[in-house]
Amino acid sequence: LSRLLRRLLSARRSLEICLFAFSSPQLGRAVQLLHRRGVRVRVVTDAQYMALNGSQIGLLRHAGIPVRHDQEDGFMHHKFAIVDKKMLITGSLNWTTQAIQNNRENVLIVEDAEYVKPFLAEFERIWEEYNPTNYTFF
């Protein structure tokens, strides 16, 4: 957790977060801190899991951070973040206390553009696809 926080808090310009489940209060506070520092934060999450116990999503929205989610039955199951468009943080880890404390998990930190670019492209694709103006209510 401390190593993940350190990488996240190195963000100076932008932070894209694409997370199936986000309920860790420490990581939620770090993201809010970055937002207050002027980092452009954008969050994509899963519609079914954003209301899980202790979810940080409502707090992030309340703080003014834009959050978008899917409208599908399938899960938005990614677990990655991109710092300043150049550092990819990805793996099996959802940002939940259960995952951090009790599970066997992996987190990869990669700065090669070869890996960062397709994840950034996937984020932008999802960000547009989940634009609320595209939601269908009928």
d(CA 3, CA 6): 5
d(CA 42, CA 108): 20
Using CB under 8 A as the binding rule, whether residue 10 contacts a copy of itself is answered as no
Structure token pair of residue 33 = 């801190």
Q: How many residues bind a copy of itself (CB under 8 A)?
A: 29
Q: How far is the CB of 110 from a copy of itself (least distance, A)?
A: 8
**In whole angstroms, what separates CA 25 from the centre of its chain?**
14
Using CB under 8 A as the binding rule, whether residue 135 contacts a copy of itself is answered as no
Q: Which helix (H) or strand (E) holds 118?
A: helix 113-129
Using CB under 8 A as the binding rule, whether residue 128 contacts a copy of itself is answered as no
77 is catalytic: yes
By C-beta, is 24 or 32 nearer to a copy of itself? 24
112 is catalytic: no
| Apex 77 CA angle, 105 and 86, nearest 5 | 75
DSSP 132: G
Which parts of this chain interact with a copy of itself (CB under 8 A)? 20, 70, 72-80, 90-93, 98-99, 101-106, 108, 110, 115, 119, 122, 126
The set of catalytic residues is 77, 79, 84
